[in-house]
Structure 1
Amino acid sequence: MLAEINSFLNDLIWGNILIYLLPLLGIFFTVSSRFVQFRYFFKMFSILRHTEHDKHGHISSFQALMLSVAGRVGGGNIAGVAVAITIGGPGAVFWMWIIGLIGMSTSFFECSLAQLYKEKDAQDSCVYRGGPAYYATKALGQKWVGVIISILIMITFGFAFNATQSFIITTSFESSFNIPTWITGISLTLIFALAIFGGIKRITKFSEFIVPIMAVGYLLIAIIVIALNLSEIPSLISMIVHEAFNPSSAIGGGIGAVILQGAKRGMFSNEAGLGSAPNVAAVAYVAHPVQQGIVQSFSVFIDTIILCSCTAFIILLSGVYQPGVEGVQGVLLTQNALIEHIGPYGGYFVTIALFLFGFSSMLYNYYLAENSVNFFIKGNVTAFNIFRVIVVALIIWGSFQDLGSVFSFADLSMGLLAVINLIVIALLYKPVLQLIKGYDRQLKEGKKPVLRYNDYTDFNIDKKIWKEIVDTIQNNRAKGEKDL
């Protein structure tokens, strides 16, 4: 009965509420901001190239981006895209792209808010905290909303998703390399514990190292596959677009199934609007909240438009996928497709990629949960260590247990989190529009934008934090210009 109730609520939230709410709000944010995700797209490169100089050990915009990509990019990029194509056909890829492009604006809004309303960590003055629980409490004055959000994040990411990722990684290694799950589980747990007991700074260092390797490695394999099938690319793209509106390969449901599968894959994968990424966006040391909004918007592009497309192309350019036939799917479909393209090593590559994607997601998931703990208990080292021990124990447990039912429950809690977060950012869209106007104004004046915090008297932001950031950055800029 519980399973049936859970399934019903999951279908209700994901299939009847979020499937409309996410795109509609994404379109509203896109139009009201004058297509902010496209206007500012190329500014992302200059923001990352000219990271603000900081000698105190604050987390940089690039490190925050890598941690965010670590979370957005996961097993769903390999397995989830395969499922979407199996059920919805090649046309699902087109709708995945559309939801990703729209979601970029949603991510911009929620991550800009996380920056605007961030606060200092009680243990380390060079670390910031923020996210939906924080901006719901400060901007709306509704702490109970923040409490609900924090509990949902803790359950979803800290407990359920991490334990499930552990199971996926260990069973994948057993299948590909015949390594017993207990050996992989213990090894995974030790590496994971080493990372999280070092706090957010060590987590970002791990992500800064792992994420570029996994993303670039997967992209290179996809480029090799595309190069081997270059003549087929124009017809493949044409087929994807045609199937998006005239499906012949979807397994039941016609165009509705195509749109649903593409949209769900985009939503699950890039997490735009789900309330998870803003927790990471808040930690970055930037001169203006819009800068991190731009960077986090780009992480949606990396996840959905680049890496999900890599999986789609690998599958659709192979003979493994049979249109309209419900055969192999998930990781196995991607694995078999890559084996066809580059030989037996393709299967091993998918397993290694799944490990890197999964492990980086686990670090990200842990930080989201830790940030939620901080919302309740600020600066209590003992409480944090107890929580870390619990999470590590769940990683070990998950490596031996098939937690499909737990994962299904986590989908429900994540859906509830998304609904609450979307309502909150819809109510708070005006501060973001004011941030954009202020940022644009300074660009037109020929200045490097900083947050003019005194312009935000109507909003309950921590002006002391922003004064400290802006004064330090402006002094550093002045010193740098003088040195030149």
Structure 2
Amino acid sequence: MSEYIVGPMNNLLWGNGQLLIYVLLFAGVWFSVKLRFIQLRDFTHMFKLLKQDGQSDPKGISSFQALCTGLSARVGTGNLAGVAMAISLGGSGAVFWMWVIALLGMATGFAESVLGQLYKVRDSHQEFRGGPAYYIRSGLNNKWLAVLFSLCLFLGYGASFSAMQANTIAEALNNTFSIPTHISGLVIAAVAGVIVLGGFKRIARFAELVVPWMGLAFIATAVIIAAMHITEIPALIFDIVMSAFGLTEASAGALGAAIKSGIQRGMYSNEAGAGSVPHAAAGAAPKPNHPVAQGYIQMLGVFLDTIVLCSCTALVVLLAGVGSTGEIAGIGVTQYAMSQHFGEYGDDFIAAAITLFAFTSVVANYAYAESNLHFFRLDNKWGKGGYTLIYLCMVVWGANASLKEAWNLADMSLGLMTLVNIYAIVQLTPTIVNLLRDYTAKKRAGGAMEFRCNEVKIQGQVADNVWKN
């Protein structure tokens, strides 16, 4: 199967075909233009919404919890290993192209998260559920495409991705602290099980408690390193920009590699357009109670993941003197760079960081796939129990396995999810634009900001028990 289906498909999506790079670039430009560069025009509004965060419905999670849940999945190995890989293949110029794809991806992330909110439903516990499968079915009235997306989601986020993250944690702990991988796998599964069995709200509370401190600790470390090399910062930024266009001697022959690796690693990291984060967005009860409010919040998530956290890793790596080698290198480069700054404590710090970063992704991955159980009417004791058992078994297996084929399967799942999701959100562009116009008009008027579905022209149908007429 891998040789005849998975391999050729991944080559088309991610390899020589590079189909997804062109599709995601198109989506970023499309929504940036259609939404009049909302990521720049309303940049400060993202932060203002966090200040007035609260729950407009007790059955939903807060916008801040939804942001942290989205960041739980976004912030992972891509922030530490992916950035190092981009630099090793494309040099410092790759960092610039990561910034570019993040800015474009902010608009895509806004669009998919608005739709996740609009077409959300209430499950058997009256909690909010939603995501691409829901807005494909309700907005486009295309059930078979919604089923295809859900199956790819279960294969990717429900199984393969959690195994990948567990493998990364087990390897890091084994290399640094000599902890046997089978012990790590059992501990990861046990701790994750305690969290996920509490449902979506417990996952959101876990993300709310862990993600901010995790991110701040990493940012603080990067700031300390920057302060230690403060006189080198201007030259470093100049080199990043010039190398991005092949205008330095070292980057003259690596322009294509810088663009490709920077864009690809940026996409992997922030997940904008993949259709994963709308599940977190759908679970929120935002304030103001309007789908666009959660669009702004998740747009902020793309910014924090790539522009802030990935830039911190780039700073750590480049200030250690690491540059393009032309060969694939990941977490080892980041560990080497950190050891250059802090000695042997640098290795320990990265091992701890990758463990925490990857574990939050393990938990968030469960939440995303679990949100689609309602879509198949499996959000009951037996459905959730069966899914949880498969998920925990994959975590234990992943910590101990050699996962080349599983990685390929996960990449194919993510690629197919992305193609289906981008097709859907482009088709639903008129609804996204109309919702933004409604939100903007109400904000300017200074009155009530609540969304009422009879005031906006939308495609398809929304759940009767979610939005008011």
TM over 0.5: yes
Alpha-carbon contact 1:164-1:404 (below 8 Å) kept: no
Q: Is 1:66 the equivalent of 2:68?
A: yes
Percent identity over paired residues? 40
Alpha-carbon contact 1:88-1:249 (below 8 Å) kept: no
Match for 1:110: what amino acid?
A: E
The CA distance in 1 between the partners of 2:324 and 2:162, in whole Å, is 33
Q: Residue 168 of structure 2 aligns with which residue?
A: 168
Q: Residue 476 of structure 1 aligns with which residue?
A: none
The CA distance in 2 between the partners of 1:70 and 1:291, in whole Å, is 20
The CA distance in 2 between the partners of 1:325 and 1:9, in whole Å, is 25
Q: CA deviation at 1:56?
A: 3.0
The CA distance in 2 between the partners of 1:294 and 1:463, in whole Å, is 24
Q: Residue 478 of structure 1 aligns with which residue?
A: none
The CA distance in 1 between the partners of 2:249 and 2:122, in whole Å, is 54
Alpha-carbon contact 1:92-1:258 (below 8 Å) kept: yes
Q: CA deviation at 1:77?
A: 0.6
Q: Structure 2 vs 1, CA of residues 78 and 4 (structure 1 numbering), >3 Å: closer, same or farther?
A: farther
Alpha-carbon contact 2:111-2:425 (below 8 Å) kept: yes
What are the ranges of 5 or more consecutive residues in structure 2 without an aligned counterpart? none
Q: CA deviation at 1:329?
A: 2.2
Matched position secondary structure for 2:36 = coil
Q: Structure 2 vs 1, CA of residues 249 and 10 (structure 1 numbering), >3 Å: closer, same or farther?
A: farther
The CA distance in 2 between the partners of 1:333 and 1:415, in whole Å, is 27
Match for 1:116: what amino acid?
A: L
1:123-174: CA deviations, max 9, x gaps? x21x201110000000111111110000000001110010111111011101
Q: Residue 32 of structure 2 aligns with which residue?
A: 30
Match for 1:36: what amino acid?
A: I
TM-score, normalised with respect to structure 2: 0.95
Matches within 5 A, 1:370-449: 370-449=370-449
What is the aligned residue count?
463
Match for 2:84: what amino acid?
A: A
Q: Structure 2 vs 1, CA of residues 270 and 53 (structure 1 numbering), >3 Å: closer, same or farther?
A: closer
Q: CA deviation at 1:379?
A: 3.3
Matches within 5 A, 1:91-240: 91-122=93-124, 124-125=125-126, 127-240=127-240
TM-score, normalised with respect to structure 1: 0.92
Q: Residue 464 of structure 1 aligns with which residue?
A: 465
Q: Structure 2 vs 1, CA of residues 335 and 396 (structure 1 numbering), >3 Å: closer, same or farther?
A: same
Matches within 5 A, 1:309-348: 309-319=311-321, 321-324=322-325, 326=327, 329-348=329-348
Q: CA deviation at 1:447?
A: 2.3
Q: Structure 2 vs 1, CA of residues 58 and 458 (structure 1 numbering), >3 Å: closer, same or farther?
A: closer
Alpha-carbon contact 2:106-2:303 (below 8 Å) kept: yes
Q: Structure 2 vs 1, CA of residues 439 and 19 (structure 1 numbering), >3 Å: closer, same or farther?
A: same
Aligned equivalent of 2:90, options 81, 88, 91: 88
Q: Residue 50 of structure 1 aligns with which residue?
A: 52
The CA distance in 2 between the partners of 1:231 and 1:295, in whole Å, is 35
Match for 1:170: what amino acid?
A: A
Q: Residue 358 of structure 2 aligns with which residue?
A: 358
Q: CA deviation at 1:457?
A: 5.3
Alpha-carbon contact 1:72-1:303 (below 8 Å) kept: yes
Alpha-carbon contact 2:163-2:394 (below 8 Å) kept: yes
Match for 2:202: what amino acid?
A: R
Alpha-carbon contact 1:151-1:372 (below 8 Å) kept: no
The CA distance in 1 between the partners of 2:365 and 2:67, in whole Å, is 15
The CA distance in 2 between the partners of 1:135 and 1:11, in whole Å, is 29
Q: Residue 481 of structure 1 aligns with which residue?
A: none
The CA distance in 2 between the partners of 1:169 and 1:364, in whole Å, is 15
Q: CA deviation at 1:449?
A: 1.6
Matched position secondary structure for 1:372 = coil
Q: Residue 273 of structure 1 aligns with which residue?
A: 273
Matched position secondary structure for 1:466 = coil
Supply the RMSD in Å over aligned alpha carbons: 1.8
Match for 1:294: what amino acid?
A: Y
1:208-266: CA deviations, max 9, x gaps? 1111121111111111111111111111011011111116556x973222111011011
Match for 1:285: what amino acid?
A: A
The CA distance in 2 between the partners of 1:420 and 1:53, in whole Å, is 31
Matches within 5 A, 1:221-260: 221-246=221-246, 249=250, 254-260=254-260
Q: CA deviation at 1:314?
A: 0.4
1:435-463: CA deviations, max 9, x gaps? 11001101111125211221235531124
Q: Structure 2 vs 1, CA of residues 253 and 6 (structure 1 numbering), >3 Å: closer, same or farther?
A: farther
